[in-house]
Amino acid sequence: MDHHDKLALPVGTTLDRFIMRKQEDFPYATGELSQLLRDIALAAKIVNREINRSGLIDIAGAYGNRNVQGEDQQKLDVIANVRFIRALRNGGEVCTIVSEEEEGMIQTGNTKGKYVVAIDPLDGSSNIDVNVSIGTVFSIYRRISPTGSAGNEQDCLQRGTHQVAAGYVIYGSSTMLVYTTGNGVNGFTYENSLGEFVLSHPTIMTPATGTIYSVNEGMAQHFSKGMAAVVAHFKEQEFSGRYIGSLVADFHRNLLKGGIYMYPATSKAPAGKLRLLYECNALAFVVEQAGGKASNGYQRTLEIQPQGLHERCPFFIGSPELVSKVEELLAAEESS
């Protein structure tokens, strides 16, 4: 390396360049999916800016409304929802959007759009005010209905195995976008000075096992006997309990370090709390592409047939050996 090379070290591969290079990996290499991923990245940059400004202007805290899930909407939830819907509508590749923040399907007016997006625009938003990592989760499907018409429920209620891409953005000490198109998982860190996502975590593989379990033990009195046995097992193994309360943050840590995230069915929430379409399926696709596993405790998450846009689902995700152990313990308790 000569003197001039040292003065100008390469910044690395930007997300745009990476997407263009990998375009031939997509099932439909016509550029639409590439553009759609860039639209999501653009919205993520804007939301990242809004989050970073939230301490300076009045956009943190509750909005005063409740969303379709019955949760208090945070002002940043509303902003993120608007930003992502606007970016996807303007991009032209998406006919229909399902958002955690909206009860029904959102028709973009792009009847020629070939894709459907299910999205949680700002996950973990109750953590906004206390400076804890929050995130965006997204899932992309190719529409089933003929182009030229509005998308319909059949387009949205596809099994997770039909996803063509999925990923998440984590807004934290650094902002990262992690996604898969079914050819491995890659992570990009946002470089503020360049305004670009740069490849920082190529070909992410999650460890086969780990020593972290993530579950809200404050709900233990509502756990089933099987779930109580699961928690007892991990304690006997002297695992570390790590639970942030932001799904994306807990998942991201365990993806990189090894571990398991659990949001089980409880007596208070018999179907669990997390949403199948835009939380569980997206992260299940990512984890499987990274060598991990995702399950409702009895069945592979990606094989569950959705019945509703906001359907909830018990969720166990992470290192494959740990998820398999949970399934074994739950099955043993049921058969005893």
- Alpha-carbon span 272 to 191, nearest angstrom: 37
The candidate with the shortest Cα–Cα distance to 140, out of 96, 175, 100, is 96
120 is in an annotated binding site: yes
- Alpha-carbon span 145 to 234, nearest angstrom: 46
Tally the residues of the chain.
336
Q: What is the DSSP string of 20-57?
A: HHTGGGSSS-SSHHHHHHHHHHHHHHHHHHHHHHTTTT
298 is in an annotated binding site: no
124 is in an annotated binding site: yes
122 is in an annotated binding site: yes
246 is in an annotated binding site: no
100 is in an annotated binding site: yes
Helix (H) or strand (E) holding 279: none
- Alpha-carbon span 158 to 121, nearest angstrom: 20
216 is in an annotated binding site: yes
279 is in an annotated binding site: yes
The candidate with the shortest Cα–Cα distance to 262, out of 288, 237, 226, is 226
- Alpha-carbon span 259 to 205, nearest angstrom: 13
C-alpha torsion angle, residues 279, 45, 68, 269 (rounded to 10) = 30
The candidate with the shortest Cα–Cα distance to 28, out of 103, 140, 122, is 140
- Alpha-carbon span 96 to 152, nearest angstrom: 8
Contact of 54 with 128, CB cutoff 8 Å: yes
Contact of 156 with 144, CB cutoff 8 Å: no
Q: How far is CA 224 from the centre of its chain?
A: 27
Residue position matching structure tokens 């920082």: 200
Q: Please, what is the end-to-end C-alpha distance for the chain in angstroms? A: 67
240 is in an annotated binding site: no
**3-class secondary-structure state, position 268:** coil
Binding-site sequence positions for substrate: 123-126, 216, 243, 273
Binding-site sequence positions for Mg(2+): 100, 120, 122-123, 279
Binding-site sequence positions: 100, 120, 122-126, 216, 243, 273, 279
